[in-house]
Chains A and B, each alone.
Chain A
Amino acid sequence: KAGVTQTPRYLIKTRGQQVTLSCSPISGHRSVSWYQQTPGQGLQFLFEYFSETQRNKGNFPGRFSGRQFSNSRSEMNVSTLELGDSALYLCASSYASGSGNEQFFGPGTRLTVL
């Protein structure tokens, strides 16, 4: 069974631009969560989608948004990029939503904002 895939793996943008990251979950998984990982803050929860609905959202500004499609693939968008948005963005999928469900992570997208 293929794992979680994320595209692109690396991205360089400049301040003020916007970016869209993509995540394809493990086949059969309907929940997709997004996390931001930085050296200073560690892994922080962005949001979770299940059956095309956002079920939960972390403490990030409205510039961070996401969506999920009927095939469970998910995208996240960051508008008006800031230098502090440079991070590894990780997507995780699980079979169902809710606590206790094991989450499987993709390799991440490394975003650099110049």
Chain B
Amino acid sequence: TQLLEQSPQFLSIQEGENLTVYCNSSSVFSSLQWYRQEPGEGPVLLVTVVTGGEVKKLKRLTFQFGDARKDSSLHITAAQPGDTGLYLCAGARNAGGTSYGKLTFGQGTILTVHP
């Protein structure tokens, strides 16, 4: 079983603070995706990282894929109340061609940014 351990589970911060969410696994993933989900809605794709060591920036969000492609992090600079939501990492892996369409999700991080 490919598990993705996501931490922390809960994060409550003040507007303007920085934060980092971690996603770790003992398995290698061919790609890793980060999603943000709001209550009552489906997850919205933020970014996909595919190359070990890759860093992608999306405004105040920075995503990194570990060199060994087993871990990833999401860093938010100067958090705003609009960043509040559930952040999910999801890994995809080719395993003899049996992983079609299958994403393995972390448990998620519930982020609350207070004004």
CB within 8 Å of B: which residues of A? 4, 31, 33, 35, 42-45, 48-50, 55-56, 58, 90, 92, 94, 97-108, 110
Contact = CB atoms under 8 A, between A and B. Distances in A.
A48 B100 contact: yes
Nearest to A31: B101
A45 B103 contact: yes
B58 to A, nearest CB: 14
A45 to B, nearest CB: 5
Given A100-B30, A103-B33, 8 more contacts: A31-B100, A90-B43, A99-B30, A99-B31, A99-B92, A102-B48, A107-B40, A107-B41
B102 A45 contact: yes
A45 B92 CA distance: 12
B105 A99 contact: no
Interface string B16-51: 000000000000001101010000111111001010
A42 B106 CA distance: 8
Interface of B: 30-31, 33, 35, 40-45, 48, 50, 88, 90, 92-94, 98-108
Q: Lowest 3 CB-CB distances: which A-B pairs, in order?
A: A48-B101, A105-B42, A99-B92
Q: What secondary structure prevails in chain A residues at the interface with B?
A: strand
A50 B101 contact: yes
A55 B101 contact: yes
Given A56-B100, A56-B101, A100 B48 contact: yes
B100 A105 contact: no
B85 to A, nearest CB: 14
Q: Which of A35, A94, A103 has the most CB of B within 10 A?
A: A103
A43 B30 contact: no
